[in-house]
């Protein structure tokens, strides 16, 4: 799932930087589930694109995976200039508030 998600994003956006983290272990899911991911993507394709449009683009790319077993994406979408301004950093994920975790 992780590799497929990364490939879908890479093929469509040709990112300057892409990281996909499987955060399923942080949630109340069966052991070995691949259902929750954090995605950090830096692409010139996001230039002049509002944040909500960036997220919609990633969610549309991931639709086949949502139709399978993907449940949630935490998205950090940046232009190269925004990435540079952030010094290549992105927020740490909070602990899951649901289920028994």
Model confidence, pTM: 0.83
pLDDT tens digits along 11-41: 999 999 999 998 876 666 667 666 678 999 9
**Chain centroid, CA 25 distance in Å:** 16
pLDDT tens digits along 46-81: 999 999 999 999 999 999 998 988 888 999 999 999
Domains annotated for the chain, with CATH where assigned, are 2-85 (3.30.300.90)
Rounded to whole angstroms, the Cα distance separating 30 from 48 reads 40
């Amino acid at each position: 799932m992780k590799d497929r998600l990364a490939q879908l994003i890479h093929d469509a956006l040709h990112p300057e930087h892409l990281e996909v983290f499987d955060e399923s272990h942080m949630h109340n899911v069966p052991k070995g589930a691949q259902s929750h991911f954090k995605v950090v993507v830096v692409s010139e394709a996001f230039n002049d694109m509002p944040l909500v449009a960036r997220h919609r683009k990633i969610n549309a790319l991931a639709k086949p995976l949502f139709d399978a077993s993907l449940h949630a994406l935490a998205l950090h979408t940046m232009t190269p200039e925004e990435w540079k301004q952030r010094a290549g950093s992105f927020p740490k994920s909070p602990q899951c508030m649901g289920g028994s975790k």
